[in-house]
Amino acid sequence: MQCMRDLRDRLKADLVKWYDCERPESGDEPERYVVCAGLAVLEHMRNAFPLCEEDYLTPGNQVRTGGAMISRILSRHGETRTYAKEGARTTRRTRVAAEELVALFNTHESIEELSIQERRGLIDELQGWLADRAKEYFDRKRIEVDIEPEKPMPDIVGSILRAAHDRNLAGAVAQHLVGAKLAMRYRDTEVENHSYTAADEQLRRPGDFLVGDTVFHVTVTPMLALFEKCQRNTRDGYRVVLLTQTTRLEAARQMAEQAGVQNRLEVSSIEQFVGQNVSEMGQFTRQGVQHELRSLLEVYNSRVEAVETNKAIMLEIPTNL
């Protein structure tokens, strides 16, 4: 048992060392091909050891990997998102990384003495460590949106919110989009910037944003409790604007009526509120609107970077802007 633990620890240390050696000079995480190479090498070790080139390389000198293989391995560890469509099979560095890992693992001759069950259990554990690196990749990955600048701006904002919804980040993205829009529109006014998870009560603020004497509440899921807060805002002398997704507008208006604030509250869509202003700031010209849209995304990212620990809330700015 002690020998098994020692072997596991040595293999884990070699795996971590190999992974760290594949980091770029910036110290960032290695490219995805590194995880794919490691997962594939370990998968082939289930049936062969020590590994020879023909065990893990094709006649064309590519690593025996593929998107389906990597997906199967990751799914065994609870990760079902597409990590690498081709499993990094066509990436040149994949073979080099795989060869270096095989050279490290092949020095551990005691692997041959393990039973099939012991070897596969050990491989599962090592692949689990690599699967965690894949999960971290998804946690770091920015939200990607296909943006067609020719589309109406509210539609583009809607596309961003839908992409964020697919990552369970719609609430945070909506708040920071509105914050970026307000910061661009009122450049001489300090628009507060807080983490999405910071509670209004904790910060002693009346809502998500306060501009002049107007409180802005941003939500993708209107709840009655929010309208009670709107009631307090109006009693305190504030004007109130509630922004929600277009698909939730009717529900929000019904809740406002239930709370008795329908005549004291402006309910608008996030898509229209943000999109219309971008068009206005771009002076309704194609070039101007495209420039302001890119500026909006840049301001958005800078505000997210300043207050959020979860960088997955950031947006990947398309190259066509």
Cα distance between residue 78 and residue 201, in whole Å: 37
CA dist list (Å): 13 to 21, 23, 228, 247, 319: 12, 16, 56, 51, 40
pTM of the model: 0.69
List Cα–Cα distances, 310 to 30, 106, 136, 262, 306, in angstroms: 19, 39, 11, 36, 11
Supply 42's token pair. 């370990």
User: What pLDDT tens digit does each residue of the chain (321 aa) get?
Assistant: 668 889 999 999 999 999 999 998 877 789 999 999 999 999 999 999 999 999 999 999 999 999 999 999 999 999 998 899 899 998 889 999 999 999 999 999 999 999 999 999 999 999 999 999 999 888 788 999 999 989 999 999 999 999 999 888 999 999 999 999 999 999 999 999 999 987 655 567 899 999 999 999 999 999 999 999 999 999 999 999 999 999 999 999 999 999 999 999 999 999 999 999 999 999 999 999 999 999 999 999 999 999 998 888 999 999 888
> What DSSP letter does each residue of 62-79 carry, written as one string?
-BS--HHHHHHHHHHTT-
**Residue of 80, 118, 143 whose CA lies nearest to 313:** 143
Sign of CA dihedral 72, 75, 77, 82: positive
Distances (CA, A) of 86 to 37, 64, 188, 212: 12, 11, 49, 53
CA dist 211 and 43 (Å) reads 58
The strand order across the sheet containing 214-218 reads 209-211, 214-218, 239-244, 266-269
pLDDT at 266: 95
Q: What is the pLDDT of residue 230?
A: 94
User: Are 212 and 191 within 8 A, CB to CB?
Assistant: no
Please state, in angstroms and rounded to a whole number, the distance separating the CA atoms of residues 134 and 90. Answer: 19
* CB count in 10 Å sphere of residue 67: 16
